[in-house]
Amino acid sequence: MDQWFAIVDAAWEVHVLEGNSNQDSDPERIGLRFTGSDLTSVATAFIAFCVQHHGGNTVHRIVDTVDYNAHFHPRNIFHEPRFWNVAEGVGEGVERSVLGAVLNILVKEKNYWRLVDSDHGYYSINQPPSGLPVSSAALAYFRTSGYIVAASLCLLRQAPLPIDPCLLLLAFSSLRDLIDHEDLLGIVSPSRAETLKQWPKTLPNNAATSLSQNSQVGQLILTHLNQTVDELPSLLTQQDWDAYTRTIYAGVLFGFPHPEYDQTPAFLAWKEGFNIQLSDNVSLLQTCNGTTIWRELVPSLYTNRFMSAAEFIAELTYINHSESVCHELARMTDALDALPSQALPWTDELQDAFVVRFEHYLQGQGNIADRSSSGGGAPPTSSPSGQHASHRARQMCKYLTGSELPPANSRDIKIYFVRDFAPVNRARVPRGHDVEEFMPSTPLALQVATCFRKMHVALNRRLMEMLREPWVEVPIATSEPTEFEKWMDYHILQSAEEYNTL
């Protein structure tokens, strides 16, 4: 997933796909189609798992990923066997093993998910035997974990520190009933405060034990570290361990909504382990505040319509009220030692640090602190797409805020609405929240949600008219410009100016 965020440069399309002509009875299907070699299969798989089932059996999301052939078909919801499949190409090596380990735990605990033919990376999500729709709780169960795991794999792979089994616990930390799940914790994290006292000092030995059993955990640690277990102690200082531990704990504590008041056994165990492990007098609440930027920024992006990148930065300024968040942003540019102890105002330097952070994700060149040869964190002069990384990062900010869209002829964003001829769906109009509920909180999701919301506001009236017409001949969408595009350009994209001003 080294260049997951390079999807900015890859073409991606949002489709509402029409069923095949011989499947007229199928319900309306709303789905996503991703193209571009930089989109890693495991990320696609996790997005695919984020299936949102709406009441009334009228709308289902499917994912059709051409590059990796991951496909959900809603017919499986109504006909035996009652499960959705994610076909070949679901990750490779460790990524596939981690996904399989998580799914196996879910199978044992909830009986909603099952692993099929792991040698070919073939997974399925199983519906309850009753044939009723999967409950919203069950969907949230995997939707929440899926995107956090994907994001964690993406971000942590680029760190110079070893990847601890706690990686997977981050995925489930927001699900309170899983914090004490022994089977899960046995794979991903110490489950008792007394073992936390020794973690992560004992990680090399634990990794060696895991490797002797050829487990997914050992593979995960050594694959991402790209070193042997014996070399671990010499690579890391106490400061490294403290910083890494704080990051892990911040992710875990992300799942506790009110850490200052929480007295549950699970939280107290994590708090005890945190206080024992760290030696630099960093408070627990300060670490919790370190997650503020994502806990508050992502919902804000959904509820506010930013007109420019400047407004986006202004929102960051408002959110960025804690010292720890400022330090975290600045740390990405090796400026932590130069910072005063008090909270910093939002400056051009911190804005640049924010952009540099995006550069880091877009470029996929490892930890910024390691780029001494390029001027202490200066971005490379070129990128795989031929654009300067800083330009791509700033463009990404603009796309995130909706203040700028790719050129109309770039085919970066195409939103297609294709009506389904089933009478039951005649009055169903795709809405912005459909995508927001479905997609995880990732930059790609924010792009999709922002553009979808704009399209919905601009075109809702026309869509309603289209869906009320009993029989509208809609050309079939193909990969080449066809009558379908001409039809859509006329009916949907004719008001580009209005679309851009929303």
pLDDT band for position 166 (50/70/90)? very low
Rounded CA-CA distance 484/487 in Å is 5
- What is the structure's pLDDT at 409? 30
Average pLDDT on 318-340 reads 36
pLDDT in tens, 168-218: 333 333 222 333 333 333 333 333 333 434 444 444 444 444 333 443 333
How does the average pLDDT of the chain come out, rounded? 36
pLDDT in tens, 107-147: 333 333 333 333 322 233 333 333 323 333 333 333 333 33
- What is the structure's pLDDT at 270? 54
**Which residue type does 129 have?**
P
Rounded CA-CA distance 376/356 in Å is 12
- What is the structure's pLDDT at 265? 58
Strands (E) in 44-155, as ranges, are: 59-65, 70-71, 83-86, 113-116, 122-126
Q: How does DSSP classify residue 53?
A: B
- What is the structure's pLDDT at 64? 28
- What is the structure's pLDDT at 455? 40
Q: Give me the phi and psi of 19, to 5 degrees please.
A: -70, 160
Weakest-pLDDT range from 53-57, 69-73, 237-241, 302-306: 53-57
Which residues are paired to 31 by β-bridges?
Answer: 15, 62
Residue 7 has pLDDT above 50, yes or no: no
- What is the structure's pLDDT at 271? 61
Rounded CA-CA distance 400/394 in Å is 10
Weakest-pLDDT range from 62-66, 137-141, 221-225, 496-500: 62-66
pLDDT band for position 317 (50/70/90)? very low
Which residues are paired to 116 by β-bridges?
Answer: 122
Rounded CA-CA distance 276/297 in Å is 31
Does 250 or 377 have the greater pLDDT score? 250
Residue 264 has pLDDT above 60, yes or no: yes
Packed helices 94-110 and 41-49: angle between N→C axes, nearest 10 degrees? 20
Q: State the residue for tokens 């809609």.
A: 474
Does 100 or 270 have the greater pLDDT score? 270
pLDDT band for position 90 (50/70/90)? very low
pLDDT in tens, 443-487: 434 443 444 444 433 333 443 343 333 333 433 444 444 444 444
* Residue 406 contacts residue 500 (beta carbons within 8 Å): no
- What is the structure's pLDDT at 267? 60
pLDDT band for position 438 (50/70/90)? very low
Please count the residues of the chain.
Answer: 502
- What is the structure's pLDDT at 261? 55
Average pLDDT on 407-436 reads 28
Does 242 or 26 have the greater pLDDT score? 242
Average pLDDT on 313-328 reads 40
Rounded CA-CA distance 322/320 in Å is 6
Q: How does DSSP classify residue 86?
A: E
- What is the structure's pLDDT at 351? 46
Question: CB-based contacts of 247: which residues, under 8 Å, 6+ apart?
Answer: none
pLDDT band for position 269 (50/70/90)? low
- What is the structure's pLDDT at 201? 45
Q: Give me the phi and psi of 491, to 5 degrees please.
A: -80, -30
pLDDT in tens, 368-411: 222 222 332 222 233 333 344 344 444 433 433 333 433 333 22
Does 456 or 426 have the greater pLDDT score? 456
How far from chain centre, in Å, is Cα 154? 9
Does 329 or 250 have the greater pLDDT score? 250
Rounded CA-CA distance 347/203 in Å is 39
Rounded CA-CA distance 464/466 in Å is 5
Cβ neighbours, 10 Å, residue 339: 15
Compute the radius of gyration of the chain from its Cα atoms: 23
* Residue 353 contacts residue 332 (beta carbons within 8 Å): yes
Average pLDDT on 294-303 reads 34
Q: Kindly state the percentage of the chain with pLDDT values over 90.
A: 0
pLDDT in tens, 24-46: 323 222 222 333 332 233 333 33
